[in-house]
Structure 1
């Protein structure tokens, strides 16, 4: 028995010794990894030390600024950079950002070939939008952008104005439900209208989102909601954590439904296109024979003429166009209607211009849009104060020299369009709503990168003209029939938040009355 006990004791000591050795090896390996990790990043630390920024905590950096409600995320960004010179150093965990808002610096960054890549936070949009123009890696983006841009030429866009006008007239009818009945959130009505418009112009599909309980609208809304949540909740950035949540299953389900809907239309239109191609001479983008064609039909044309898009690539570009084009136009138009309610004299000047151009009943035509000069200035001033994309994030692949510092490879930049648009050095009395800031002689006084509602540089929004034409037609159609009012008394009363797009925390609160 003593011999057995001695063996057990010896084995226990041996096991304890082995365990101690393994623990020591693990701790040593961890320390070595930790030191190597930081040694490889020493250059980032050196550059970060040269720029001012808020106090940084170990490991988490400045992440505590974003630990509260998402309603506070934009104000927290403004607080972080307030009092510092651009660029400001900010750490989000172990990720280094340089926050930038000065025009000359924005111009350098946005035009640099070393800042074309989107920051990795945008990868969370790929589940729903794939790798279309918005999220595509640089090589794919360069190829697709060059091929796709002809589909946004003026002749093709002019063919969409009839759709803009038709869907806006349905919006006027739908708004009768709430006319004279007090305050409501106008965004729901506008988002349904712009979704109808985008479905018609992108795919040639009628989903009747304004007049029916559209499943597609529900899928898009839920997908966007989950996508924003995934972007904003830091621990959801890790797929192994996000996939443990009920949101992951729901996100996969709505993404599948959206992709199936779009993919089915792509296949159907492709069959129709190939059949039609056999029965007619090949059309050319330059000849204007495709003016009334949808975005999808033009992509099929391009693919036939050498672009060689796969069905999945076409579907991803259509999905991107759908997602980027509907809520953005609805958001900007909703803010414009709030401004109408806040500034009745500006609203009446817009109304008078629209009546002068259109008369009381004639639908908007493409030749009318260029005549809405004051309306255009109102839209631009609205998007100055309320830029739909208030923050743009880019990854830096090689060092970029700015006027006062160097941005190192391996870091990212956060380009704060909202801060740029209210910089008092550029915009005197910046919170004053003044459409005449966009008179030609005033625009000429400012740096070209002082105003970036559609981003800037080669990776700016491809649909700038489309968006402006859409908003002009919609607003002109609606303001001709309704007067707008709002509970907001001044611009500063509108508390804002960001979940990819800029939104008012308390909603787009307006009231309307029919004009006599």
Structure 2
């Protein structure tokens, strides 16, 4: 018995030794494999490292790069990005983890990038926006973007836009009524009121839906705002790029929740409108004379035009229609609300400029005539005020594109595999282009002054083939709204200088402390 026990003990020791040897061997193989993979990974990226070494930029730490510069609040992220842009010559090299970015803020360089076929693809950072807008125009891959853009552009023709002016004015008149609640009551956040007005406008013009956001409690604005805040946070917090980490956070659940609510809202409208159109077409085939019967004149919405184009051969699915409508809703509602709110703050800050705008509006409209299409072109000074506001407060402070092939600039080559950050805000505050850049001066946009500058010096709507599809829509809507409101109210603000307005970005530029305004009735 003793001999058997001794043999078993010896055998177990032998097995232990063998197991240890196997484990050590496997560990060596694993370490060697990782070293080989790591070496190959960096060898394949040697071109990126070589180009990165030729450009100045902040010191990058191993593995995380410059990620710590983009930690903290959305205000900190924007502030640090501006500091980096102002500290180095464009293009500036920045590493976010293992991803290489070049920040560009010079007009001639932006023109090259924005018009290059090798910089049309949106950066993979924007995939985090797909939970909200899907793969609509804003985030679509290049082939899909080209197809959809070609179909969608005609829906923004001048005749269609002119038909929308009545909606702009009707909803702006409701805004005038809503602002009566805060007359003489001191400072309030004007965005709360303006965003509901622009939501009503966009719902009417994009979908033909009346949501009465101004007069009833609508959650759409809150959903959209929160979605963009989470989206921007995920883009710039490097560890949130990994789904398995982000999905462990409460933000992931909240993001999914607001996305579903936004999609349910627009998806239901898309389905109902498409079914109605298909039913109408079916009836016209069964009763051809119906095509010649006079119908009540209706305003064609963005969605209606897309449905008609789809049924005529464009073949949009319900999901594609919803994605484009979602994109238009987010891009058209919040952005114009923000710009209108910034304009009101600028008018409140500079009373002499407010007086000039008021006088121009009164000269064109008189005291109570509603704005008409023919009036908008006459608001020349107001347009300059809007443009100067958009210079100081560009809604999209930065845009990011993936580089698919090397692009040669005047002083650098941007290599394939990197990404370009087109830093619009840094461009708009460049003292070489805009002397005394923090001074609010609408006369910068006099025709003779504009002619002196590079055409890519002012890019609130981006530039090149992948620019915003709706700049005319936005400008017309803003002019109509501001002209309607300024006849009734005088504005003031607690902000005394441009620097008093601390800014943050969550895809869209916003003031940290809100759009602070006070209104009084004009006598």
* Separation in 1, partners of 2:224, 2:74: 21
Distance 1:172 1:343, change over 3 A: same
Q: Residue 422 of structure 2: SS of its match in structure 1?
A: strand
Q: Residue 208 of structure 1: SS of its match in structure 2?
A: coil
1:149-172 per-residue CA deviation (whole Å, 9 max, x = no partner) reads 000000000111111111111111
Q: How does 1:102-121 map to 2 (within 5 A)?
A: 102-121=106-125
Contact 1:155-1:291 at 8 Å conserved across structures: no
* Separation in 2, partners of 1:258, 1:450: 35
One of 10, 13, 17 as aligned partner of 1:9: 13
TM-score by length of 1: 0.96
Whose radius of gyration is greater, 1 or 2?
A: 2
Contact 2:406-2:416 at 8 Å conserved across structures: yes
One of 344, 350, 356 as aligned partner of 2:351: 344
1:391 has 2:398 as partner: yes
One of 56, 70, 83 as aligned partner of 1:66: 70
1:84-109 per-residue CA deviation (whole Å, 9 max, x = no partner) reads 21111111111100110111000000
1:244-284 per-residue CA deviation (whole Å, 9 max, x = no partner) reads 2232223223222221221111111112222333566899x
Q: Give the C-alpha shift of residue 388 in structure 1.
A: 0.5
Contact 1:100-1:106 at 8 Å conserved across structures: yes
TM-score by length of 2: 0.95
1:3-62 per-residue CA deviation (whole Å, 9 max, x = no partner) reads 111111111111111111111111111111111110010000000011111112111111
Of stretches 355-364 and 223-232 in structure 1, the one that deviates more from structure 2 is 223-232
* Separation in 1, partners of 2:474, 2:180: 25
Q: What residue number does 2:429 align with?
A: 422
* Separation in 2, partners of 1:158, 1:498: 32
1:218-256 per-residue CA deviation (whole Å, 9 max, x = no partner) reads 433333333233223322211111112232223223222
One of 490, 494, 513 as aligned partner of 1:506: 513
Contact 1:384-1:451 at 8 Å conserved across structures: yes
1:224 has 2:228 as partner: yes
Q: How does 1:376-415 map to 2 (within 5 A)?
A: 376-415=383-422
Q: Residue 101 of structure 2: SS of its match in structure 1?
A: strand
* Unmatched 5+ stretches in structure 1: 284-288
Q: What residue number does 2:464 align with?
A: 457
Distance 1:390 1:282, change over 3 A: farther
* Separation in 1, partners of 2:270, 2:62: 50
Of stretches 351-360 and 149-158 in structure 1, the one that deviates more from structure 2 is 351-360
1:481 has 2:482 as partner: no
* Separation in 2, partners of 1:54, 1:488: 33
One of 450, 470, 477 as aligned partner of 1:470: 477
Q: What residue number does 1:90 align with?
A: 94
RMSD of Structure 2 on Structure 1 (CA): 1.8
1:178-218 per-residue CA deviation (whole Å, 9 max, x = no partner) reads 11111111111111111111111110111111111114344
Q: Give the C-alpha shift of residue 133 in structure 1.
A: 0.4
* Separation in 1, partners of 2:230, 2:418: 27
When the two structures are aligned, how many residues end up with a matched partner?
Answer: 512
Contact 1:232-1:499 at 8 Å conserved across structures: no
